[in-house]
Structure 1
Protein backbone atom coordinates (compact mmCIF):
# COMPACT_ATOMS: atom_id res chain seq x y z
CA UNK A 1 0.00 0.00 0.00
CA UNK A 2 1.38 3.38 -1.04
CA UNK A 3 1.41 5.99 1.74
CA UNK A 4 0.81 9.64 0.83
CA UNK A 5 3.07 12.04 2.72
CA UNK A 6 3.89 15.69 3.17
CA UNK A 7 7.49 16.58 3.94
CA UNK A 8 8.10 19.24 6.59
CA UNK A 9 10.40 21.43 4.58
CA UNK A 10 12.61 24.36 5.58
CA UNK A 11 14.38 24.39 2.21
CA UNK A 12 17.60 23.31 3.93
CA UNK A 13 19.82 20.27 3.59
CA UNK A 14 18.29 17.93 6.20
CA UNK A 15 14.72 18.26 4.97
CA UNK A 16 16.00 17.95 1.38
CA UNK A 17 17.80 14.71 2.15
CA UNK A 18 14.68 13.39 3.88
CA UNK A 19 12.69 14.36 0.76
CA UNK A 20 15.26 12.69 -1.50
CA UNK A 21 14.98 9.42 0.40
CA UNK A 22 11.18 9.52 0.34
CA UNK A 23 11.09 10.22 -3.39
CA UNK A 24 13.13 7.09 -3.96
CA UNK A 25 10.96 4.80 -1.84
CA UNK A 26 8.44 2.71 -3.77
CA UNK A 27 5.79 2.62 -1.03
CA UNK A 28 5.81 6.41 -0.52
CA UNK A 29 4.15 9.11 -2.62
CA UNK A 30 5.26 12.63 -1.74
CA UNK A 31 2.28 14.85 -2.50
CA UNK A 32 3.38 18.10 -0.89
CA UNK A 33 5.79 20.15 1.18
CA UNK A 34 4.94 21.97 4.40
CA UNK A 35 6.75 25.09 5.59
CA UNK A 36 6.29 27.93 8.08
CA UNK A 37 6.42 31.60 7.07
CA UNK A 38 6.63 34.58 9.44
CA UNK A 39 3.75 36.99 8.87
CA UNK A 40 4.77 40.50 7.87
CA UNK A 41 8.31 39.32 7.23
CA UNK A 42 7.58 37.08 4.23
CA UNK A 43 10.45 34.79 5.13
CA UNK A 44 10.72 31.23 6.37
CA UNK A 45 10.75 30.81 10.12
CA UNK A 46 14.25 30.32 11.66
CA UNK A 47 16.09 30.11 8.32
CA UNK A 48 14.93 33.56 7.17
CA UNK A 49 14.67 32.61 3.49
CA UNK A 50 12.55 34.88 1.29
CA UNK A 51 9.11 33.41 0.63
CA UNK A 52 9.54 33.84 -3.13
CA UNK A 53 12.64 31.61 -3.02
CA UNK A 54 10.78 28.97 -1.01
CA UNK A 55 8.04 29.08 -3.67
CA UNK A 56 10.55 28.84 -6.50
CA UNK A 57 12.40 25.96 -4.87
CA UNK A 58 9.14 24.00 -4.54
CA UNK A 59 8.29 24.77 -8.18
CA UNK A 60 11.67 23.46 -9.33
CA UNK A 61 11.11 20.33 -7.23
CA UNK A 62 7.73 19.86 -8.91
CA UNK A 63 5.81 19.77 -5.63
CA UNK A 64 3.02 21.91 -4.16
CA UNK A 65 3.96 23.78 -1.00
CA UNK A 66 1.61 24.33 1.91
CA UNK A 67 2.37 27.24 4.23
CA UNK A 68 1.67 27.84 7.88
CA UNK A 69 1.76 31.60 8.54
CA UNK A 70 2.98 32.44 12.04
CA UNK A 71 3.24 35.75 13.92
CA UNK A 72 6.76 36.93 14.70
CA UNK A 73 6.72 35.59 18.26
CA UNK A 74 3.91 33.03 18.42
CA UNK A 75 2.81 31.58 21.72
CA UNK A 76 2.96 27.80 22.00
CA UNK A 77 -0.84 27.71 21.87
CA UNK A 78 -0.96 29.82 18.70
CA UNK A 79 1.77 27.75 17.04
CA UNK A 80 0.10 24.47 17.92
CA UNK A 81 -3.29 25.61 16.64
CA UNK A 82 -1.92 26.69 13.26
CA UNK A 83 0.17 23.57 12.80
CA UNK A 84 -2.82 21.44 13.79
CA UNK A 85 -4.94 23.17 11.11
CA UNK A 86 -2.28 22.32 8.51
CA UNK A 87 -2.18 18.69 9.60
CA UNK A 88 -5.97 18.51 9.39
CA UNK A 89 -5.77 19.82 5.83
CA UNK A 90 -3.20 17.15 5.02
CA UNK A 91 -5.43 14.47 6.47
CA UNK A 92 -8.42 15.77 4.48
CA UNK A 93 -6.32 15.42 1.32
CA UNK A 94 -5.57 11.76 2.03
CA UNK A 95 -2.14 12.23 3.59
CA UNK A 96 -1.29 9.65 6.26
CA UNK A 97 2.23 10.69 7.30
CA UNK A 98 4.34 13.81 7.84
CA UNK A 99 8.08 13.43 7.16
CA UNK A 100 10.71 15.28 9.19
CA UNK A 101 14.47 15.71 8.71
CA UNK A 102 15.41 15.65 12.41
CA UNK A 103 18.49 13.62 13.27
CA UNK A 104 19.44 13.69 16.95
CA UNK A 105 17.29 15.97 19.13
CA UNK A 106 14.87 13.70 20.97
CA UNK A 107 12.85 16.49 22.59
CA UNK A 108 12.13 17.93 19.14
CA UNK A 109 11.15 14.51 17.81
CA UNK A 110 8.85 13.84 20.78
CA UNK A 111 7.15 17.21 20.30
CA UNK A 112 6.59 16.64 16.58
CA UNK A 113 5.27 13.12 17.12
CA UNK A 114 2.77 14.32 19.69
CA UNK A 115 1.47 17.05 17.37
CA UNK A 116 1.16 14.69 14.42
CA UNK A 117 -0.50 11.90 16.38
CA UNK A 118 -3.04 14.28 17.91
CA UNK A 119 -4.02 15.15 14.32
CA UNK A 120 -4.62 11.50 13.45
CA UNK A 121 -1.46 11.22 11.35
CA UNK A 122 1.87 9.46 11.78
CA UNK A 123 5.43 10.83 11.65
CA UNK A 124 8.40 9.49 9.69
CA UNK A 125 12.00 10.40 10.55
CA UNK A 126 14.13 8.90 7.75
CA UNK A 127 17.43 10.37 9.03
CA UNK A 128 16.90 9.64 12.71
CA UNK A 129 19.90 8.45 14.73
CA UNK A 130 22.34 8.34 11.82
CA UNK A 131 25.83 9.77 11.91
CA UNK A 132 25.73 13.43 10.91
CA UNK A 133 29.12 12.99 9.24
CA UNK A 134 27.73 10.15 7.10
CA UNK A 135 24.60 12.13 6.28
CA UNK A 136 26.36 15.29 5.12
CA UNK A 137 28.72 13.32 2.91
CA UNK A 138 25.79 11.34 1.49
CA UNK A 139 24.05 14.62 0.75
CA UNK A 140 27.00 16.33 -0.95
CA UNK A 141 27.80 13.09 -2.78
CA UNK A 142 24.34 13.14 -4.35
CA UNK A 143 25.24 16.45 -6.00
CA UNK A 144 23.15 18.94 -4.05
CA UNK A 145 24.31 22.57 -3.97
CA UNK A 146 23.69 24.16 -0.59
CA UNK A 147 24.37 27.63 0.82
CA UNK A 148 24.94 28.50 4.49
CA UNK A 149 22.40 31.26 5.13
CA UNK A 150 22.30 31.48 8.93
CA UNK A 151 24.92 31.07 11.64
CA UNK A 152 25.12 31.22 15.39
CA UNK A 153 27.98 33.73 15.66
CA UNK A 154 28.99 32.30 19.03
CA UNK A 155 30.03 29.04 17.34
CA UNK A 156 30.55 29.70 13.61
CA UNK A 157 32.65 32.56 12.14
CA UNK A 158 30.74 35.04 10.00
CA UNK A 159 33.01 34.23 7.05
CA UNK A 160 31.01 31.02 6.52
CA UNK A 161 27.84 32.95 5.66
CA UNK A 162 26.93 32.65 1.98
CA UNK A 163 29.41 29.85 1.35
CA UNK A 164 28.60 26.59 -0.44
CA UNK A 165 28.91 23.41 1.58
CA UNK A 166 31.87 21.46 0.21
CA UNK A 167 34.30 18.94 1.64
CA UNK A 168 36.84 21.70 2.18
CA UNK A 169 34.31 23.87 4.00
CA UNK A 170 33.25 21.01 6.27
CA UNK A 171 36.87 20.40 7.20
CA UNK A 172 37.29 24.10 7.99
CA UNK A 173 34.38 24.21 10.47
CA UNK A 174 35.40 24.66 14.12
CA UNK A 175 35.89 21.34 15.88
CA UNK A 176 32.95 21.85 18.24
CA UNK A 177 30.48 22.44 15.39
CA UNK A 178 28.34 19.54 14.18
CA UNK A 179 28.77 19.12 10.41
CA UNK A 180 24.98 19.14 9.95
CA UNK A 181 24.51 22.04 12.36
CA UNK A 182 22.28 19.75 14.38
CA UNK A 183 22.74 21.85 17.51
CA UNK A 184 21.63 25.03 15.74
CA UNK A 185 25.14 26.17 14.77
CA UNK A 186 24.04 27.01 11.19
CA UNK A 187 21.19 26.66 8.71
CA UNK A 188 21.18 26.25 4.94
CA UNK A 189 19.20 26.61 1.73
CA UNK A 190 19.45 24.16 -1.17
CA UNK A 191 19.66 25.70 -4.64
CA UNK A 192 20.28 22.70 -6.89
CA UNK A 193 20.54 18.95 -7.10
CA UNK A 194 19.11 15.76 -8.59
CA UNK A 195 15.47 16.47 -7.66
CA UNK A 196 15.54 19.95 -9.21
CA UNK A 197 14.22 20.58 -12.71
CA UNK A 198 17.09 23.10 -13.04
CA UNK A 199 19.29 25.05 -10.62
CA UNK A 200 17.58 27.80 -8.67
CA UNK A 201 18.79 31.23 -9.85
CA UNK A 202 20.06 33.19 -6.87
CA UNK A 203 22.51 35.82 -5.73
CA UNK A 204 24.09 36.24 -2.31
CA UNK A 205 23.60 39.72 -0.90
CA UNK A 206 26.58 41.41 0.74
CA UNK A 207 24.30 42.61 3.55
CA UNK A 208 23.95 40.60 6.76
CA UNK A 209 21.22 40.85 9.39
CA UNK A 210 21.73 40.47 13.12
CA UNK A 211 19.03 38.71 15.14
CA UNK A 212 18.95 38.02 18.87
CA UNK A 213 20.56 34.60 18.37
CA UNK A 214 21.55 34.28 14.72
CA UNK A 215 23.22 36.22 11.94
CA UNK A 216 21.64 35.94 8.48
CA UNK A 217 22.75 36.63 4.96
CA UNK A 218 20.13 37.45 2.36
CA UNK A 219 19.63 35.34 -0.75
CA UNK A 220 17.75 37.00 -3.61
CA UNK A 221 16.45 35.65 -6.87
CA UNK A 222 18.81 36.33 -9.73
CA UNK A 223 17.25 38.05 -12.70
CA UNK A 224 20.17 37.27 -14.98
CA UNK A 225 20.14 33.46 -14.72
Structure 2
Protein backbone atom coordinates (compact mmCIF):
# COMPACT_ATOMS: atom_id res chain seq x y z
CA UNK A 1 0.00 0.00 0.00
CA UNK A 2 1.47 3.32 -1.12
CA UNK A 3 0.78 5.23 2.10
CA UNK A 4 1.02 9.02 2.42
CA UNK A 5 -0.92 9.22 5.68
CA UNK A 6 -3.61 11.38 4.05
CA UNK A 7 -7.27 10.84 3.30
CA UNK A 8 -6.93 9.26 -0.16
CA UNK A 9 -4.53 6.55 0.94
CA UNK A 10 -6.63 6.01 4.08
CA UNK A 11 -9.81 5.52 2.01
CA UNK A 12 -7.89 3.35 -0.46
CA UNK A 13 -6.73 1.10 2.38
CA UNK A 14 -10.30 0.85 3.65
CA UNK A 15 -11.50 -0.36 0.23
CA UNK A 16 -8.58 -2.77 -0.05
CA UNK A 17 -9.34 -4.25 3.37
CA UNK A 18 -12.95 -4.81 2.26
CA UNK A 19 -11.96 -6.40 -1.06
CA UNK A 20 -12.06 -10.22 -1.32
CA UNK A 21 -9.12 -10.30 -3.75
CA UNK A 22 -6.74 -7.93 -1.95
CA UNK A 23 -4.76 -8.49 1.24
CA UNK A 24 -2.81 -5.38 2.27
CA UNK A 25 0.35 -6.53 4.02
CA UNK A 26 2.73 -3.55 4.05
CA UNK A 27 2.74 0.25 4.02
CA UNK A 28 5.33 2.13 1.96
CA UNK A 29 6.04 5.87 2.27
CA UNK A 30 8.59 8.28 0.83
CA UNK A 31 10.14 10.74 3.28
CA UNK A 32 12.37 13.78 3.01
CA UNK A 33 15.85 13.18 4.47
CA UNK A 34 16.48 16.88 5.14
CA UNK A 35 13.30 17.62 7.08
CA UNK A 36 12.66 14.07 8.38
CA UNK A 37 9.07 14.32 7.20
CA UNK A 38 6.66 12.72 4.73
CA UNK A 39 7.40 13.97 1.22
CA UNK A 40 5.07 16.83 0.16
CA UNK A 41 2.82 16.46 3.23
CA UNK A 42 5.38 17.73 5.73
CA UNK A 43 4.20 15.34 8.48
CA UNK A 44 6.73 14.22 11.07
CA UNK A 45 8.01 10.66 10.67
CA UNK A 46 6.95 9.77 14.22
CA UNK A 47 3.30 10.50 13.38
CA UNK A 48 3.54 8.33 10.28
CA UNK A 49 4.85 5.52 12.47
CA UNK A 50 1.99 6.08 14.90
CA UNK A 51 -0.46 5.49 12.03
CA UNK A 52 1.28 2.24 11.06
CA UNK A 53 1.21 1.05 14.67
CA UNK A 54 -2.52 1.68 14.92
CA UNK A 55 -3.21 0.00 11.60
CA UNK A 56 -1.10 -3.00 12.52
CA UNK A 57 0.92 -3.21 9.28
CA UNK A 58 4.70 -2.93 8.88
CA UNK A 59 5.91 0.40 7.53
CA UNK A 60 8.67 0.66 4.92
CA UNK A 61 10.31 4.08 4.80
CA UNK A 62 11.97 5.23 1.57
CA UNK A 63 14.20 8.22 2.35
CA UNK A 64 14.81 10.74 -0.44
CA UNK A 65 16.90 13.92 -0.80
CA UNK A 66 14.97 17.19 -0.62
CA UNK A 67 14.86 17.53 -4.43
CA UNK A 68 15.60 14.04 -5.78
CA UNK A 69 16.49 13.39 -9.40
CA UNK A 70 14.54 10.71 -11.22
CA UNK A 71 17.63 8.49 -11.09
CA UNK A 72 17.91 8.69 -7.31
CA UNK A 73 14.16 8.31 -6.83
CA UNK A 74 13.95 5.23 -9.03
CA UNK A 75 17.05 3.65 -7.46
CA UNK A 76 15.70 3.94 -3.94
CA UNK A 77 12.19 2.86 -4.88
CA UNK A 78 13.59 -0.14 -6.76
CA UNK A 79 15.58 -1.17 -3.69
CA UNK A 80 12.43 -0.93 -1.53
CA UNK A 81 10.38 -2.94 -4.03
CA UNK A 82 13.08 -5.60 -4.31
CA UNK A 83 13.01 -6.07 -0.54
CA UNK A 84 9.22 -6.47 -0.62
CA UNK A 85 9.34 -8.79 -3.63
CA UNK A 86 11.64 -11.06 -1.62
CA UNK A 87 8.72 -11.44 0.79
CA UNK A 88 6.34 -12.41 -2.01
CA UNK A 89 4.77 -8.98 -2.63
CA UNK A 90 4.25 -8.03 -6.29
CA UNK A 91 1.30 -5.62 -6.23
CA UNK A 92 1.21 -1.97 -5.18
CA UNK A 93 -2.02 -0.18 -4.21
CA UNK A 94 -2.55 3.53 -4.85
CA UNK A 95 -5.23 6.01 -3.76
CA UNK A 96 -5.24 7.96 -7.02
CA UNK A 97 -8.62 9.12 -8.28
CA UNK A 98 -8.52 10.79 -11.70
CA UNK A 99 -5.01 11.70 -12.92
CA UNK A 100 -4.55 9.39 -15.90
CA UNK A 101 -0.94 10.44 -16.58
CA UNK A 102 0.07 9.67 -13.00
CA UNK A 103 -1.65 6.29 -13.14
CA UNK A 104 0.11 5.46 -16.40
CA UNK A 105 3.46 6.50 -14.91
CA UNK A 106 2.97 4.23 -11.91
CA UNK A 107 1.86 1.27 -14.05
CA UNK A 108 4.81 1.63 -16.41
CA UNK A 109 7.39 1.97 -13.64
CA UNK A 110 6.07 -1.06 -11.78
CA UNK A 111 5.79 -3.18 -14.93
CA UNK A 112 9.51 -2.65 -15.50
CA UNK A 113 10.26 -4.60 -12.30
CA UNK A 114 7.54 -7.20 -12.71
CA UNK A 115 4.94 -5.60 -10.44
CA UNK A 116 1.35 -4.59 -11.03
CA UNK A 117 -0.54 -1.52 -9.80
CA UNK A 118 -4.07 -1.53 -8.40
CA UNK A 119 -6.27 1.53 -7.82
CA UNK A 120 -9.17 0.58 -5.50
CA UNK A 121 -10.87 4.00 -5.51
CA UNK A 122 -10.14 5.01 -9.11
CA UNK A 123 -12.94 7.18 -10.55
CA UNK A 124 -15.05 6.87 -7.41
CA UNK A 125 -17.39 9.91 -7.30
CA UNK A 126 -16.24 12.57 -4.82
CA UNK A 127 -19.66 12.66 -3.13
CA UNK A 128 -19.48 8.91 -2.51
CA UNK A 129 -15.98 9.09 -1.09
CA UNK A 130 -16.82 11.97 1.22
CA UNK A 131 -19.94 10.18 2.45
CA UNK A 132 -17.74 7.21 3.37
CA UNK A 133 -15.15 9.42 4.98
CA UNK A 134 -17.62 11.10 7.31
CA UNK A 135 -20.02 8.19 7.90
CA UNK A 136 -17.25 5.71 8.76
CA UNK A 137 -15.58 8.08 11.22
CA UNK A 138 -12.40 9.07 9.41
CA UNK A 139 -10.89 12.24 10.86
CA UNK A 140 -8.08 14.33 9.42
CA UNK A 141 -6.27 17.66 9.60
CA UNK A 142 -5.18 19.65 6.53
CA UNK A 143 -1.39 19.80 6.83
CA UNK A 144 -0.35 21.38 3.53
CA UNK A 145 -1.94 23.71 0.99
CA UNK A 146 -0.73 24.97 -2.38
CA UNK A 147 -0.85 28.76 -2.37
CA UNK A 148 -1.75 28.73 -6.06
CA UNK A 149 -5.15 27.34 -5.08
CA UNK A 150 -5.89 28.12 -1.41
CA UNK A 151 -4.92 30.78 1.09
CA UNK A 152 -3.09 30.05 4.32
CA UNK A 153 -6.27 30.02 6.41
CA UNK A 154 -7.12 26.55 5.07
CA UNK A 155 -3.89 25.08 6.43
CA UNK A 156 -4.36 23.39 9.80
CA UNK A 157 -8.13 23.12 9.52
CA UNK A 158 -10.11 20.02 10.35
CA UNK A 159 -11.04 18.18 7.16
CA UNK A 160 -14.78 18.39 7.68
CA UNK A 161 -17.94 19.45 5.84
CA UNK A 162 -17.30 23.12 6.63
CA UNK A 163 -13.89 22.85 4.98
CA UNK A 164 -15.48 21.43 1.82
CA UNK A 165 -18.15 24.13 1.74
CA UNK A 166 -15.49 26.84 2.02
CA UNK A 167 -13.37 25.64 -0.91
CA UNK A 168 -13.20 28.26 -3.71
CA UNK A 169 -14.67 27.48 -7.14
CA UNK A 170 -12.33 25.43 -9.30
CA UNK A 171 -10.66 23.61 -6.40
CA UNK A 172 -11.10 19.85 -6.59
CA UNK A 173 -12.97 18.78 -3.42
CA UNK A 174 -10.59 15.83 -3.04
CA UNK A 175 -7.50 17.95 -3.69
CA UNK A 176 -6.67 15.72 -6.64
CA UNK A 177 -4.66 18.47 -8.35
CA UNK A 178 -2.43 18.94 -5.33
CA UNK A 179 -4.49 21.78 -3.80
CA UNK A 180 -4.09 20.36 -0.29
CA UNK A 181 -2.84 17.36 1.67
CA UNK A 182 -4.03 15.91 4.96
CA UNK A 183 -3.08 13.72 7.90
CA UNK A 184 -5.58 11.11 9.11
CA UNK A 185 -5.56 10.82 12.89
CA UNK A 186 -8.49 8.42 13.21
CA UNK A 187 -9.94 5.72 10.96
CA UNK A 188 -12.29 2.76 11.43
CA UNK A 189 -9.34 0.36 11.28
CA UNK A 190 -7.12 2.30 13.74
CA UNK A 191 -6.68 0.61 17.11
CA UNK A 192 -7.12 4.04 18.68
CA UNK A 193 -7.01 7.68 17.50
CA UNK A 194 -3.71 9.57 17.36
CA UNK A 195 -3.64 12.57 19.67
CA UNK A 196 -1.98 15.51 17.89
CA UNK A 197 -1.73 19.22 18.44
CA UNK A 198 -1.17 21.95 15.89
CA UNK A 199 2.17 23.70 15.90
CA UNK A 200 3.41 26.63 13.83
CA UNK A 201 2.37 27.34 10.26
CA UNK A 202 5.28 27.69 7.83
CA UNK A 203 5.43 28.95 4.23
CA UNK A 204 7.97 27.37 1.88
CA UNK A 205 8.74 28.03 -1.78
CA UNK A 206 10.25 25.72 -4.35
CA UNK A 207 12.22 27.07 -7.28
CA UNK A 208 13.41 25.35 -10.48
CA UNK A 209 16.72 23.55 -10.23
CA UNK A 210 18.66 22.94 -13.46
CA UNK A 211 18.60 21.06 -15.67
CA UNK A 212 14.96 20.64 -16.77
CA UNK A 213 13.52 20.44 -13.27
CA UNK A 214 10.03 19.53 -14.43
CA UNK A 215 11.31 16.65 -16.56
CA UNK A 216 13.20 15.28 -13.56
CA UNK A 217 10.29 15.66 -11.15
CA UNK A 218 9.49 12.56 -9.14
CA UNK A 219 5.97 11.21 -9.12
CA UNK A 220 5.22 12.75 -5.72
CA UNK A 221 5.34 16.16 -7.43
CA UNK A 222 3.64 15.30 -10.72
CA UNK A 223 0.16 16.33 -9.59
CA UNK A 224 1.26 19.97 -9.39
CA UNK A 225 0.97 22.15 -12.53
CA UNK A 226 4.32 23.84 -11.80
CA UNK A 227 5.43 22.51 -8.42
CA UNK A 228 8.96 23.88 -8.36
CA UNK A 229 7.84 27.51 -8.58
CA UNK A 230 4.91 27.11 -6.17
CA UNK A 231 4.57 28.19 -2.55
CA UNK A 232 3.13 25.91 0.11
CA UNK A 233 1.87 26.43 3.64
CA UNK A 234 2.51 23.64 6.14
CA UNK A 235 0.91 23.11 9.53
CA UNK A 236 3.38 21.37 11.82
CA UNK A 237 1.49 18.62 13.65
CA UNK A 238 3.00 17.54 16.96
CA UNK A 239 2.34 14.42 19.03
CA UNK A 240 0.07 15.52 21.88
CA UNK A 241 0.90 14.71 25.52
CA UNK A 242 -0.33 11.38 26.85
CA UNK A 243 -4.04 11.46 27.63
CA UNK A 244 -4.75 14.41 25.35
CA UNK A 245 -7.85 14.19 23.10
CA UNK A 246 -7.56 13.87 19.29
CA UNK A 247 -6.99 17.02 17.26
CA UNK A 248 -10.54 18.33 16.76
CA UNK A 249 -11.31 21.62 15.00
CA UNK A 250 -8.64 24.30 14.93
CA UNK A 251 -9.00 27.10 17.45
Alignment partner of 2:105 out of 111, 116, 130: 111
User: 1:178 and 1:135 mapped to 2: Cα distance?
Assistant: 13
Helix, strand or coil: the match of 1:28?
Answer: coil
CA deviations on 1:77-136 (whole Å, 9 max, x unpaired) are: 111111111111111111121000011111111111111111211110011122223222
Distance 1:147 1:75 in 2: 30
Say whether residues 1:218 and 2:205 are aligned partners: no
| 1:3 paired residue number | none
Match of 1:194 among 188, 193, 209: 188
Q: Distance in 1 between matches of 2:70 and 2:200?
A: 35
Is structure 2 residue 114 aligned with structure 1 residue 120? yes
1:138 match: 132
Alpha-carbon distance between aligned partners in 2 of 1:98 and 1:86, rounded to the nearest angstrom: 12
Query: Could you tell me how far apart the structure 1 residues matched to 2:174 and 2:146 are?
Result: 13
C-alpha distance in 1 between matches for 2:202 and 2:127: 28
1:30 equivalent among 24, 29, 53:
24
Q: Separation in 2 of the partners of 1:184 and 1:40?
A: 22
Which consecutive aligned stretches of 4+ in structure 1 deviate over 4 angstroms post-superposition? none
| 1:56 Cα offset (Å) | 0.8
Of 174, 183, 188, the match for 2:177 = 183
- For residues 43-83 of structure 1, what are the alpha-carbon distances to aligned partners after superposition, in whole Å with 9 as ceiling and x for unaligned? 01011110011011111111110011111111111111111
2:15/2:121 contact within 8 Å kept: no
Gapped regions of structure 2 (runs ≥ 5): 207-229, 245-251
**Alpha-carbon offset, residue 26 of structure 1:** 2.5
**Does structure 1 conserve the Cα–Cα contact (< 8 Å) formed by 2:200 and 2:235?**
yes
Query: 2:158 matched to 1:164?
Result: yes
Q: Tell me if the contact between 2:201 and 2:233 (Cα under 8 Å) persists in the aligned partners.
A: no
1:64 aligned to which of 58, 65, 70:
58
Unpaired stretches in structure 1, ≥5 consecutive residues: 1-6
Aligned-pair distance for 1:29? Answer: 1.6
The two structures have a TM-score, normalised by structure 1, of: 0.93
Q: What is the number of equivalent residue pairs in this alignment? A: 219
CA RMSD after TM alignment:
1.2
Secondary structure of the corresponding residue to residue 23 of structure 2: strand
Deviation at 1:183, TM superposition (A): 0.6
Deviation at 1:24, TM superposition (A): 1.4
More strand by share: 1
Q: CA deviation at 1:190?
A: 0.2
Q: Distance in 2 between matches of 1:61 and 1:96?
A: 21
Aligned pair partner of 1:94 in 88, 95, 108: 88
